Amino acid sequence: MKRQRIALVTGANKGIGFEVARQLARKGFRVFIGARKTEAGIEATTRISHEDGTAEFLEIDVSDARSIERAAETCARVTDWLDVLVNNAGIVVDGDDDVMNLTPEIFEGTLRTNTLGPLLVAQAFRALLAKSDAPRIVNVSSGGGQLTDGADGWAPAYCISKTALNGVTVQLAAALPKFAVNAVCPGWVRTEMGGANANRSVGEGAAGIVWLADEAPHDLTGKFLRDRKPIPW
């Protein structure tokens, strides 16, 4: 009997993360709903459990190294392995609108959540992932982090953090040759972060992430993708 696949999605209480978790649950995954806000995380977990499949809440604040360590310890007590890690949690903060006026607090806080957080989560959950037959890490990045076409000035700390996350992705891919490690741009999605004018639904934004977590060839690694196709860094 084939064992049930298990995934952890950070920032899964709302937006793209919630939709990714829901789609994975519908595909038969046991999904850990990673969130820093307990009430919101439990609410999301309950909703998915009632409507879509197997979900469990896991408290994790990716900006806090000790919280990440506690989450990994908690997870290891209730499962022997993890097949997929989706590093989805991310922030854009007020005041991130002009690179010449960025404060150290905005810059450091954004990188702590969007770049250092995914690295620390990958480190903390590596042992559980290594017990999978086909471990995968999916880092949710952004076209705003691409260097190819140059920056347009929007949310500079956020964009820089995603450029750095892409760097984390290729380093993890090199360090973990038995893993599939990729970064993905979901596009401009109608979420709290993306706004109402965005041109993609949450389902459309989640689709490429779910594909990398579930169906993509396992030898596809160290890439930056959108709509299942590699895009320039």
Q: pLDDT digits over 36-80, tens only?
A: 999 999 999 999 999 989 999 999 999 999 999 999 999 999 999
Look at residue 2 and tell me whether its pLDDT is greater than 90.
no
Answer whether residue 1 is part of any domain: no
* pLDDT (mean) for 214-220: 98
Answer whether residue 15 is part of any domain: yes
Q: Could you give the number of structural domains in the chain? A: 1
Answer whether residue 179 is part of any domain: yes
**Pick from 189, 188, 185: nearest CA to 224:** 185
Element containing residue 232 per DSSP (H, E):
none
Look at residue 150 and tell me whether its pLDDT is greater than 90.
no
Active site residue 171: no
Please give the Cα distance from 212 to 9 (Å, whole number): 13
Q: What is the pLDDT of residue 55?
A: 98
Q: What is the pLDDT of residue 193?
A: 72
Answer whether residue 185 is part of any domain: yes
CATH number of domain containing 157: 3.40.50.720
3-state secondary structure of 174: helix
pLDDT interval class at 200 (50, 70, 90) = confident
Please give the Cα distance from 35 to 27 (Å, whole number): 21
Residue spans of beta strands (DSSP E) within 81-233: 84-87, 136-140, 180-184, 224-226, 229-230
Look at residue 132 and tell me whether its pLDDT is greater than 70.
yes
Strand order in the sheet with 30-35: 54-59, 30-35, 6-10, 84-87, 136-140, 180-184, 224-226, 229-230
What crossing angle do the helices spanning 104-111 and 156-175 adopt, rounded to 10°?
30
Q: What is the pLDDT of residue 151?
A: 86
Look at residue 194 and tell me whether its pLDDT is greater than 90.
no
Own/partner pairs, 193-197, CB within 8 angstroms, 24+ separation: 193/15, 193/90, 193/92
Containing domain of residue 151, as a range?
A: 6-230
Look at residue 188 and tell me whether its pLDDT is greater than 70.
no
Q: Which of 158, 180, 191, 221 is catalytic?
A: 158
